[in-house]
Amino acid sequence: MSGTTANTRTALLAAGLAASMVGLAYASVPLYRLFCQVTGFGGTPMVAADAGARPEVVPGTRIRVRFDGNVRRGMPWEFRPAEQFVDLPLGERRMAFYHARNRSDSAVTGVATFNVAPAAAGRYFVKIQCFCFNEQTLKPGEAVEMPVIYYVDPAILDDPEASRIREITLSYSFFPVAEPKQPAGVRSTGMAAIAAAKR
């Protein structure tokens, strides 16, 4: 077998393995979610491995974080951010709140997904605690405030693709859950997040 043929076969095997791994990630929602959160792929905010870690705040820097909230078809909730945007220095930990209210006459369970834009900011927008991916059940007419704790990693300044970003949009979408995994009346709206933010 010639060297060229061997190299071609090796390259094809490597490409096939890489394609298989990506395919598995997309086929498995939990695995894909973890992949996105670890890498910031596709504008998915990073998830802090150590919730107690505090990055250095960079004095004199300022970035705007804009908030967006929406519900998908079949979700009888009102869901919106408590404020439209905040300006903060890089590295500073902040807490934002989203308001949710069940407008129906029966208990409704939903789950939220999230994203940031532009996509290049995804790996630098770090969530410490939030309500996303956890089922939230609201009783008829019940209203709650759902917190998210986050910061923008100062490492964004070292990325040629992201260093010019001056505004990041954090967007949540709530979907209805047909068969809730938790008992009616139970929700995880993030009291632990509030406690963590005060530490």
User: Residue 110 burial by CB count (10 A; 0-12/13-18/19+): exposed, middle or buried?
Assistant: buried
Of 158 and 50, the one with more pLDDT: 158
Of the candidates 71, 91, 92, 93, the residue with the CA atom closest to the CA atom of residue 81? 71
Question: Over the stretch 16-64, which tens digit does the pLDDT of each residue have?
Answer: 555 544 444 333 344 444 444 444 444 445 555 455 567 799 999 999 9
Quote the CA–CA distance of 151 and 175 in Å, as a whole number. Answer: 25
Chain centre distance of CA 185: 25
Torsion sign, CA atoms 84, 194, 49, 56: positive
Residue 83's identity, in one-letter code, is E
pLDDT value at residue 6: 60
Tokens of 44: 């998915």
Q: Give yes or no for residue 118 having a pLDDT over 90.
A: yes
